[in-house]
Amino acid sequence: MEHIIQVELRTDNTHTLTWLDAALKPKPGMVLLCKGDPRPWTVVHAYLITARESRDSNVSWKAEVH
């Protein structure tokens, strides 16, 4: 089971809501990189402060702290 947190990310003029692995401990202002995307993404807001368990999550982001 994964622990995930919903966050709002921004790059250039693009905003998106997505689920990230809670192990990244996303906080506003944190810059992340997504595999296959050269653009840096900035965490705007973490909507779920407490991690949520998910069995069949559709977490497509595999981000690395930049």
Cβ pair 47, 9 in contact under 8 A: no
Contacts of 47 (CB under 8 A, 6+ apart): 5, 6, 7, 8, 17
Please give the model's pTM, rounded to 2 decimal places. 0.71
Q: Which tops the pLDDT comparison, 40 or 64?
A: 40
pLDDT digits (tens, 9 = 90+) for 12-21: 999 999 888 8
Cα–Cα dist 50/5, whole Å: 7
Q: pLDDT value at position 48?
A: 62
Q: pLDDT value at position 9?
A: 95
Q: pLDDT value at position 54?
A: 57
pLDDT exceeds 80 at position 32: yes
pLDDT exceeds 80 at position 44: yes
